[in-house]
Amino acid sequence: MSHLIRDPIHGFIKHSSSERAIIDTAPFQRLRGISQLGLVSKVYPGATHTRFEHSIGTMHLASMAFDAIQEGLDPTIRRQLGWHKDPARKKDKRLVRLAALLHDIGHTPFSHVGAGPKTNSLCPDGYSHEKYGEQIIHSSDIAGMVSKEEGPEALEDIIIIAGLAPPLQLRQRLLSELIAGTIGVDRLDYLPRDSLYTGATAGRCDIERLIYTMRVLRHPKFEDPLIVIDLGGILAVEEMIFARHAMRVQVYIHPICDIYGLHLREFLRDHLPEGRWPTDINDYLQYDDHRIWEEMRWAYQDPSMPGYLHATRLHGRNHFRCAYEVTTRHMEDNALIYQQLEQEVYNRFPRELIRTVIAQEDVYSTQKEGDLIVLTLDGPRNITAQSEILQSLALTFRFFGRIYAAPEKKEEVRRVCAEFVRKETGYETA
């Protein structure tokens, strides 16, 4: 029996009774209380969407993508992946849907903002949202449901395809790439979803065109099957990569979003037992955004509670202000100048009045993500060689070094920063 969920991005989403049973479990329902974008709603009020609807949307796109890569699939590859047998192919489609549904089940409250950067994570050593996700699947009713419907061996398959553990088999790697790769359906759901709820139109891209042009081909060098793009999908890929960059600059690393995230992590370090999320999975599952906001509200009203000062920054909107920003538009040696500027500010002002945040990215890095293959009339080629836009983006590096100050010190800190940069570089600030 199939059921329907109406989604603002994809319209009606069909799902089976077994998928619905997993959606109804307590660990999955917890995702209703995990915001997709952390504290972005403090800047973009509409951005109140959660990991719950994103996970369901990703499942829907995974189904579409799986069907798309069957188109024109070489019989040898089909046999190599086990899809020459109809029952095996249908089972893999069910597994990739479940993997997409469960890929974010382990997220901390406030998603990536609540976990913090890898170099200073709020997760215990050896933990991440992927590790939590793997443990949640194993320890909850989900494990029994999957084993009953698909067999006990399917559980590890789903965990690996969801990206919660490294792939061991060729088939697992290919299906995992379908979800979390450069053009994976995880990204193809969150970009238009984040765009809709924030109102930042730059995140829109032609996801259906991109999915319908996905193919599977043997790698020209390594012989392993990989996901490639038909010639007609180049424009959709360009749109998607630029959309991700534009959303990052406009939304994900917005200066106010950055400082709110920093204040939140400072509150959590003071407030959580031992300053980190718990390792006990039952304790961990008790946390969501709503619980943290409630505990922060109590801390805001009681100066004796741990995290009181940081709670005032968040609840009272008395957050630190961005006093100065060093970017790639200012100077070539931006990272070095920022490091010197940071030291100058710390020498001039008490540390409790200053916060610093660095955000940097390669707009499109073939080293990090691998260059996509496109099927041209002359055979498979790297997509960067076929796209002047991607060639330009691959050369683009963005750096944002921000100096934040307590509200009462913002102007003084700004003047010190501007004067220092002028002396060191000759760059005149506005």
Domains of the chain listed by start with CATH number: 2-249 (1.10.3210.10), 320-430 (3.30.70.1370)
Q: How confident is the model at residue 332 (pLDDT cuts 50, 70, 90)?
A: low
- Judged against a pLDDT cut of 80, whether residue 368 lies above it is answered with no
Residue 377: the pLDDT is: 85
Q: Give tens-digit pLDDT for 172-210.
A: 999 999 999 999 999 999 999 999 999 999 889 999 999
In the beta sheet, which residues pair with residue 405? 321, 354
Whether residue 297 contacts residue 315, with contact meaning beta carbons closer than 8 Å, is answered with yes
Lowest mean pLDDT among 110-114, 219-223, 259-263: 219-223
Pairing mode, strands 2-7 and 397-405: unpaired
CB burial of residue 398 (10 Å; 0-12, 13-18, 19+): middle
Q: CA 72 to CA 25: how far, in whole Å? A: 38
At 358, give phi and psi (nearest 5°). -115, 130
Mean pLDDT, rounded, for 276-298: 97
Render pLDDT for 29-61 as a digit per residue (tens, 0 to 9).
999 999 999 999 999 999 999 999 999 999 999
Handedness of CA 33, 38, 43, 49 (dihedral sign): negative
pLDDT tens by residue, 245-261: 999 989 999 999 999 99
Q: Mean per-residue pLDDT for 3-13?
A: 97
Q: Average pLDDT over the chain, rounded to whole?
A: 92
What pLDDT, on a 0 to 100 scale, did the predictor assign at position 222? 65
CA 33, 34, 37, 43 torsion-angle sign: positive
